[in-house]
Structure 1
Amino acid sequence: MIHTSTASLTHSAEQAQQWVSELARDLGWNERNAYRFLKSVLHTLRDWLSPEEMADLSAQLPTLIRGVYFEGWKPSDAPVSERKKRDFVISVRDSFGYEPGVDIDTAIKAVFKLLDRHISHGEIVQVRNSMKTSLRHLWPEG
């Protein structure tokens, strides 16, 4: 039993590391900043989805990434219905912090492409369709 749990934990850590490494490579960043940015986008996305869609997406995340996704989540904070792309970008930037030379739109697209590679197509379509049209442009259909 302990061996299985340890193997599962090791596998989960490897998956999380793979996601962060892929994002770092895609953005040309170091892994520390890639992790921070992934976390910022996941938190903003989580807070913008309906509870049902948020839960559906989380079910497909690797265990450790799912932990990052839910970190700091307050279920009592209901999603705001009127949201614009600008508000999403500002939320990500506020969470990530200002970094000179970082194109936030491009970096958000890189996170969405990472999710496209690792999450089922059906779930990605549901998440995209739940977003305002202006925000969908950051998550191009793959």
Structure 2
Amino acid sequence: MSHTTISSFTRSAEQAQHWVNELRDDLGWTGEKDAYRLLRAVLHALRDWLSLEEVADLSAQLPMMIRGVFFENWQPSLIWQVTDRSKDDFTLRVQKEFGSEAMDDPDKAVAAVFRLIDKHISPGEARQVRGQLRKSLQGLWPSH
């Protein structure tokens, strides 16, 4: 059994803050709150678009606090109610969870989160996640 120490929580909080700051800077946004809301919305949509096995594989590579956001309010029994997994449906889902303010360019915002995730997970896992997305949505994920 592994023991999580306070320093592990501190490190995880620092990693999560780094992810939010990195996303904010990539988009040229000024607000951390908006970057966090976008990251959360994309993680939730992605989680619900992937197979259960891939959700587990991807989550294993996320920092502890980001993993917590990824699984927040998750109801696995409801994910299969998502019938059309197109790019437009994905970006609409992200926009809805993001909140009342419309994003100027939802595709650009989603692509920024995909770049962030791609940067921080293994290339093999990135290929697996990308491969589970419809072709139109794959176009927003970096290809190597």
TM-score, reference length from structure 1: 0.92
Contact kept, 8 Å, 2:20 with 2:35, in 1: the verdict is yes
**1:118 paired to 2:141:** no
- Looking at structure 1, the residues matched to 111 and 79 of structure 2 have their Cα atoms a distance apart, in angstroms, of 25
User: Is residue 118–residue 142 contact of structure 2 (8 Å, CA) maintained in 1?
Assistant: no
Aligned partner of 1:71: which letter?
Answer: E
Question: Over aligned residue pairs, what C-alpha RMSD do you find?
Answer: 1.4
Q: Which residue of 1 aligns with 2:60?
A: 59
Q: Which residue in 2 is equivalent to 1:46? A: 47
Identity of aligned residues (%): 58
Map Cα deviations across residues 68-95 of structure 1 (whole Å, 9 max, x no partner): 0000100211334542111001000011
| Moved segments of 4+, more than 3 Å | none
What are the within-5 Å matches in structure 2 for residues 69-84 of structure 1? 69-79=70-80, 80=82, 82-84=84-86
Q: How does 1:84-95 map to 2 (within 5 A)?
A: 84-95=86-97
Query: Alignment partner of 1:126: what SS?
Result: helix
- Mean Cα displacement is larger for which, 71-80 or 20-29? 71-80
Deviations 1:102-126 (A, max 9, x none): 2110011000110111010000000
Long gaps (5+) in structure 2: none
SS in 2 for 1:140: coil
Show CA shifts across 1:52-74 (max 9, x none).
00110000000000000000100
